[in-house]
Amino acid sequence: MHHFRKIISLLLISGKTFALLIIFIACEKVESQEAKPVTLQNNASFPIGFAVDPTAMKDNVPYQKTVLDQAGSITAENVMKPSRINAQKGVFNFEKADYLIDVAKAQGKRVHGHTFVWYTNTAPTWMKQIKDSTELEAALKNYIQTVGTHFKGKVASWDVVNEAFDNATGEIRMASTDEKGQTLLNLGGVIGKDYVARMFRYAHQADPDALLFYNEYGQETNTKKLDAVLKMVADFKKRSVPVHGLGLQMHININTPNAGIENAIKKYADTGLLVHISELDIAMNPARTKDLAVTAELLDKQLHKYKFVVAAYKRIVPAKQQFGITMWGVGDANSWIPGFCSCTDFPLLFDSQYKPKPAYDGFIEGLK
């Protein structure tokens, strides 16, 4: 009897201890959930990225903190472009890109490479001067091999070719100069229209583990270019050209029709490839006026457009194809848009002091 009582009281005590333990664990759990700050990445089921600049990452504390707190992925805004890595023939400069990658790796962030091949006037001058097709192709192959090998194992993915299609015709670009008379890297004209496929093969040889993307802009409003990309992907699949994903740059504005945004996301998702919203920003000043006054109405329109884009991506792209959404810049003061449009604009999620704007709330709401 005495023993029996002892066992009962022991059971009672250990029962109480057990119950206390459960309460303790539950509290800990609630606390750790509460402690998790509201950030873009903490609210997302796919990587959220920023296009970043190494100098700002080094010198600008709020910029750096915003990126490290909010992002799960980074893209170099400029320093991994051929114009920066290989401005002079035979000379490869990896210093700034390496710095960025070291910071990203130390903080456990994914790195997306941007971009192996790009036609613009900023392409290396020595490359633009080559008019012989064999020579230009060899130069590009060498570039992709050298750069791809250098970053092998450090970058998860690459934009292999950027903006190959002509806005007016939807065909591969064949122009040697732009409308301002500046010289372009005329890849289509010199190498031929099938150059894109060969660049993907070279990229795959350089880093067989990297996910390879084709990146394009204006897919929300230019259906000729959208169709061109889809046709190219179908052709690549038939010929086993190694392509794993599509980048929708999505430099849009507060008036870009939602139907066009949805259509581009849906058509890209239907290819079965990974889909990356790769350079998102939402301009507030589509009329490109010099001095735009920011009103509550404009901020609200921007909030809703961000919410729409993010929610559409989440809803339309199957989870296993969601490569992520990358913002093209951090705070409004760093955005490329004012330089590009020669106007005032505030297209990003953070203001010039890196305070979250209403657009940020829209992005978070879209993630929910």
CB-CB contact of 256 with 226 (8 Å): no
User: Which residue's entry shows tokens 């109405």?
Assistant: 297
Residue 203 CB, shortest distance to ligand XIL, in Å, is 16
Which one among 39, 66, 162, 322 touches ligand XIL, defined by CB under 6 A? 162
CB 160, CB 115: distance < 8 Å? yes
CB of 78 to ligand XIL, least distance (A): 5
Q: Which residues pair with 211 in a beta bridge?
A: 157
When asked if residue 326 is in the footprint of ligand XIL (CB under 6 A), the reply is no
Q: Whose Cβ is closer to ligand XIL: residue 94's or residue 336's?
A: 336
Respond yes or no: is residue 34 known to be catalytic.
Answer: no
Minimal distance in Å, beta carbon 137 to ligand XIL? 22
Task: Mark out the alpha helices in the chain (DSSP H runs).
Answer: 2-35, 54-59, 61-70, 82-85, 95-106, 125-128, 133-150, 187-191, 195-206, 223-238, 258-270, 296-316, 337-341, 358-367
Asked whether 211 and 156 are in contact (CB, 8 A), the reply is: yes
- One residue of 183, 336, 344, 361 binding ligand XIL per CB under 6 A: 336
CB closer to ligand XIL, 184 vs 364: 184
Task: From the candidates 137, 163, 216, 220, give the one annotated as an active-site residue.
Answer: 163
CB of 170 to ligand XIL, least distance (A): 18
Is 179 among the residues known to form the active site?
no
Q: Which of 279, 281, 332, 345 binds ligand XIL (CB under 6 A)?
A: 279
| CB of 111 or CB of 367, closer to ligand XIL | 111
Closest CA to 43 of 344, 311, 333: 311
Per DSSP, the three-state class of 165 is strand
Shortest distance (Å) from residue 154 CB to ligand XIL: 20
DSSP 8-state code for residue 177 = B
Tell me if the bond preceding 115 is cis, omega within 30° of 0.
yes
- 249 or 263: CB nearest ligand XIL: 249
118/202 with CB nearer ligand XIL: 118
Q: How far does Cα 146 stand from its chain's mean position?
A: 23
Give me the residues that bind ligand XIL (CB under 6 A), please: 77-78, 162, 217, 249, 279, 336
**Catalytic residue set:** 163, 279
